[in-house]
Amino acid sequence: MVFRESARTKLANLSVKRRRLMSNTISQRLNEMLLSLMAQKKGGTNSNRMRVGVFIALPSEPIIAFDDLQAGPTGTIAFGLPGGDQRAPYFQEWNMGPASLQRTPWGTFSAQQDSPRMSLEHLDLVVVPGRAFTPLGQRLGRGLGYYDRLIRDYRQKCSLPKVIGVAYSCQMVDVLPCSDYDEEVDWVLHEKC
Longest dimension (CA), the chain: 47
Listed in sequence order, the residues at least 6 apart from 13 whose beta carbon sits closer than 8 Å to its beta carbon are none
- Nearest-Å Rg of the Cα atoms of the chain is 16
The domains of the chain, with CATH numbers, are 2-189 (3.40.50.10420)
Listed in sequence order, the residues at least 6 apart from 184 whose beta carbon sits closer than 8 Å to its beta carbon are 136, 137, 138, 139, 163
Query: What does pTM read for this prediction?
Result: 0.86
pLDDT tens sequence for the chain (193 residues): 577 788 788 888 889 999 999 999 999 898 888 888 877 776 555 556 788 888 888 888 898 887 666 555 556 777 788 876 666 677 888 777 666 777 777 777 777 777 888 888 888 889 999 999 999 999 988 877 888 988 998 898 888 888 999 999 999 999 888 888 889 999 999 999 8
Q: Are strands 132-133 and 139-140 parallel, antiparallel or unpaired?
A: antiparallel
